[in-house]
Amino acid sequence: MTKEEALLKINQLSEEIESHNYRYYVDAAPLITDFEFDNLLIELSGLEKQFPEYCFLHSPSQRVGGQITKEFIAVEHKYPMLSLGNTYSEEDLIDFDSRIKKIITDEHVQYACELKFDGVAIGITYKNGKIFQAVTRGDGIKGDDVTANIKTIKSLPFHLKNLNETEFPDEFEVRGEVIMPHKVFNRINEERIAIGEAPFANPRNCAAGTVKMQDSGEVAKRSLDCFLYAYYGPSVFNTHEESLNAMTKFGFHVSEHRTVCHSISEVMEYIHHWDNARNALPFDIDGIVIKVNKFSQQQELGFTAKSPRWAISYKFKAESATTQLLEVTYQVGRTGAITPVANLQPVLLAGTTVKRASLHNADQIAKLDLHEADFVYVEKGGEIIPKITGVDLNKRSESATPIHYITSCPECGSALIRKEGEAQHYCLNEENCKPQIKGKLEHFTGRKAMNIDGLGSETIDLLVEKNLIHTIADIYNLKKEKLINLDRFGDKSAQNIIVGIEKSKIIPFEKVLFSIGIRYVGDTVAKKIARHFKSIDAVINATEEELMNAPEVGEIIAKSVYQFFRKESNVKIIEALKANQLQFELAHDALPTQLGNQLKGMTLVVTGTFERNSREGLKAMIEQHGGKNGSSVSKNTTFLLAGADSGPSKIEKATSMGVKVISEYDFELMISK
C-alpha cells in the first residue's frame, strides 16, 4: 500500500468510525454491532502503526469515545473515565497475563473477574455518605451531569448504610453501568408499539436514551437498574475485591456473579461458564472484565494514554445461527404501519427456538438483498428480538427470485404509502382494514386504557366478524340480548361486559384521551395534554402551535393530534362517545388549585435548575396563578423563566425574539402581587 493509499484509507476509516461513535454515544442508535465497530478500529490502528506519520491527534484511535450533548451540563471527571482494551481472543488474554507477569515478578497476581454489563457507564460521587453527582462517560475527560435521572434508580442508595468513616472517606466516587432489565425493556416496547412508535432495538439503546431524557419523572417509570463495579478515592482498600465487598456492605448494588481467579486458566473457566450461562440472566452482558486484584500492583502497572494496563475486557461474539427463510409475511399494526416478518425454519439460538425475525422495513429487505428460500444468518447478541444479519450466498439457488416489498396492504388491498422521513410503509384505510379496526378496539378496551372487562382480543375478533362493532363508539351500543346469542356467551359473561362498559364511563378524561388511540400519544403525553387544555373541545380546536405549548408535546406529536381531529370520522366518534357520557373534561380535583390570576393570558417556559423550587413545582405554580406552560420558546411566549445551568440556545432564542428572561425571584415577586 502506498502512502497516498494509506492516507486515503485512514481518512475514510476515521470518518466512518466517528460517524458510528456519534450514533452510539450521542444518538444511542448504533448502526453496526460492537464486533464490527471494533474491527474498524483495529484496522485503523494497524494502518496508523504502519504509517505513524498519519496518526493524527484527532484520530478516533486517540480518544476514548463519544461527544458531549448540549442538553446537560458538562462536568470534568475528577478521575478520567478511560475505556478498557477489548479482545475476542483467548490468545490475547494469555498475552495480557504474560505482560503483567513480566512487570510483577516479586509476588503472585490474582485476577478479579466480573460480568461486562451491556449498558451505560456512569460515575457517581458521594459526599459525607450522601449521593452528590452522577456523570456519564462522555469523551472520558468530561461527561454530562444526569444526577436527577440517576437518582430515580431504586437500587442506588441516597444515603450509605452502616457508614464507617474509617472505611469510606468524606468524598469518593463509585462507577458502574446503568442497565435496562429484559422485563422492563419488553414492557416499554409493547407500549411504544401500541402508540405507533418504533420499538427500541435492544436494552442498551433504551437505557442510553432513558438516561438522557429531560423529564426525570418519565425516567423513573422506566425502572432502570445500576450495577456498581469500581471505587475511586483515597486509598482505604488493599484489593479490588475488598472494595466491592465494602460497597456491598454499605448498600451499593454490586453483582454477586464475580470471582477472584488465581491463574489465567481459572479466568478462562469463568469466561466459558458465562458464555454459556449468560442467556439465563435477566439483563444483557456482552463479555467479561478481568482486572488485577491488588491495588498496589495496579499502581505498578499503570496506564497507557487510553486505558489501564492492569485490566482488559473479553467480549463475547454475538450468538448466531444459519437457517432457511421460508417466507416473508407482513403484519398490519393499529396505526396502519406495515412490518415485514421473516418466517424461518426453526433453529436453536441463545437458548430459545427461533422461528421468526423482524425485517423492520423495506430498506432492510433491500440492504440484505433477500431472495426466496435464502439461507440466512440470524443473530440475537444484544438483541432481544432476533434479527437477520446476512445471507449465505453460497447456498442461494440460481433460480431464486428477489423478494420485493409489497405495494398493497396484505389485509385490505389498499395501496401502501411511505411518509416522508419515515422508514415504514402505511395502509391509510384505517376505517375498513380489519387489523387496524381490531387494533384500535383492543387498545381502547385494554387494561391501561378504558379497562373494560370481558372485551379481550378474541371477543373483539368475534364482535367485529359479526358486524356488531366497527369503531370504539359502537362498544357503547352493545346490548346484553345481542351478546347472549353469540357462541361461547352465557348470561353471566354477557352481563360482565355490559357492567364493564358502564364502569368505563367514569374513567377520567386523561385516560379517555389516551384510549382513543392518537398516534404518538401515550398515557403520559395524554395526561399532559388533558391537564393543559382541560377539555376535548379545547384540544380539537387547538392549532398545531397551541398544541406545542403543552408540556412534552413537540412538533411530531402536535401534528399527529391536529391531523387526527381534522378527520371528520374521528370527530363523529368523539361526539358519539360524548352522547354516551364519557368523561371529556378534566375533573375538578385533577385541576391545579387556583391561587390567583396574576399570570392570566401569559405563557411561560421554564428552563434550568432553581434554588427554592423544582421545575415541576414552578410549572404547577404557573397554572395555579392562571398562566400556561410552554415547552419551547415561540412568539406566543411571554416570559422565559431561567434558572442556573439554563440551556444557552433557549436564552439566545428568547433574546432574539424579544421574549423577556426572568429569574426565580422575579417570578415569585410577580405571583405575590
Task: Give the active site residues.
Answer: 116
Our CA dihedral for 421, 426, 431, 437, rounded to 10 degrees, sits at -110
> Is-contact 474 482, C-beta < 8 A?
no
- In the structure grid, which three cell numbers stand for residue 23, read together? 450514533
Q: Which of 584-616 are b and which e, b meaning 16 or more Cβ less than 10 Å from the residue's Cβ? A: bbbeeeeeeeeeeeebeebbbbbbbebeebebe
Query: Who's near 465: CB < 8 A, 6+ residues apart?
Result: none
Number of H helices, E strands in the chain: 24, 22
Of 93, 132, 130, 128, nearest in space to 113 by CA:
93
- In the structure grid, which three cell numbers stand for residue 226, read together? 445500576
Distances (CA, A) of 335 to 152, 249, 261, 342, 425: 32, 50, 54, 21, 11
Of 138, 216, 70, 74, nearest in space to 652 by CA:
70
How is residue 23 annotated by DSSP? I
Sign of CA dihedral 410, 414, 415, 416: negative
Query: Angle at Cα 80 formed by Cα 76 and Cα 86, nearest 5°?
Result: 135
Distances (CA, A) of 177 to 86, 136, 282: 17, 10, 15
The SS3 of residue 547 is: helix
- In the structure grid, which three cell numbers stand for residue 625, read together? 396563578
Residue 571 belongs to what H/E stretch?
Answer: helix 568-579
Q: What beta strand segments (E) does 74-160 contain? A: 74-76, 86-87, 111-117, 120-127, 130-136, 142-144
Of 111, 481, 483, 502, nearest in space to 311 by CA:
111
Of 42, 56, 251, 52, nearest in space to 160 by CA:
251
**CA-CA distance, 530 to 508, in Å (whole number)?**
10
Q: What beta strand segments (E) does 243-336 contain? A: 259-261, 285-292, 311-315, 320-332
Query: Angle at Cα 237 formed by Cα 233 and Cα 238, nearest 5°?
Result: 130
> Is-contact 59 16, C-beta < 8 A?
no
Alpha helices in 485-550 (DSSP H): 491-503, 509-515, 523-533, 536-541, 544-548
- In the structure grid, which three cell numbers stand for residue 304, read together? 497507557
